[in-house]
Amino acid sequence: MILRILGQLLDRQLARCLLCGTGERVTNGICAPCCHDLPALGHSCQGCALPLPNNDDHLCATCQQQPPPQSQSRACWYYAYPVAQLIQRFKYQRDLAAGRTLAELAASTLQPLNAQGPDLLVPVPMHWRKQFSRGYNQAQLIANTLSTQWHIPVEPRALCKVTPTDSQQKLRRNRRKKNLARSFKACAELVTGLHIGLVDDVITTGATLEAAAQALLDAGALEVSAIALARTP
């Protein structure tokens, strides 16, 4: 007990903000002023989390014309400085502290999605070759943190990436959708009849989440809600 308390005191004393390096008022790895300056997403499309200028609108034009398979999509921030830099450090430089900081902040900001929230959290999977090369799946680490904060179980085996796809970063939406067609497979035994919280780091065009969500629904999931750290404007 004494060692645990001493460890907590030492952690607080040694804690430094990931962005500015200060040791004052640091919570979840970031100080209060830097946390205040993070680019909050604000009002956004319920279908794809695209920022919307009019607070009376609930869906963007694209989702009105072609609703996505997920019932809703939520993100915490714009994919802009400094969130974008923290996510890049997390994904490509093995900065797990940056990922945990963002996931913990997102958990407290988004909160459980009400009484009808997800029964199960499922991370968007990577193809095994890519995950082996990187060493971890960032979406799974985010889902693990959300699971701890929200007390919702996480099941990475519920969805797998069965075919590798090229890097999606520079591709347009139609090309992304073509790349991702039939690339995910869900386990019916793990998702049938459940509301799934589908977790990823960034929503760019939404094509990856749509393909994954459709696979879950095809396997018998009752509903899919998408959850991400950030959304590209």
The pLDDT assigned to 43 comes to: 94
What is the full per-residue pLDDT of the chain (233 aa) written as tens digits?
554 543 454 355 447 888 888 877 888 889 999 999 999 999 999 999 999 999 999 999 999 999 999 999 999 999 999 999 999 999 999 999 999 999 999 999 998 655 678 999 999 999 888 888 888 999 999 999 999 999 999 999 999 999 877 655 555 666 666 667 678 999 999 999 999 999 999 999 999 999 999 999 999 999 999 999 999 98
Cβ neighbors of 216 (< 8 A, separation 6 or more) are 122, 158, 159, 186, 191, 196, 198, 224
Q: 30 by DSSP, 3-state: which? A: strand
| 52 touches 45 (CB < 8 A) | yes
What local confidence, expressed as pLDDT, does residue 10 receive? Answer: 39
> Residue 7's pLDDT is what?
46
How high is the pLDDT of residue 230? 98
Distance CA(22)–CA(208), nearest Å, equals 37
Q: What pLDDT score does 26 carry?
A: 86
* Residue ranges covered by each domain of the chain: 1-37, 40-231
Confidence at residue 181, expressed as pLDDT on a 0 to 100 scale: 67
Task: Say which CATH class 40-231 falls into.
Answer: alpha beta
Residues 99, 85: contact at Cβ < 8 Å?
no
Contact 191, 161 (CB under 8 A): no
The pLDDT value recorded for residue 226 is: 97
pLDDT recorded at residue 6: 39
* Global confidence as pTM: 0.87
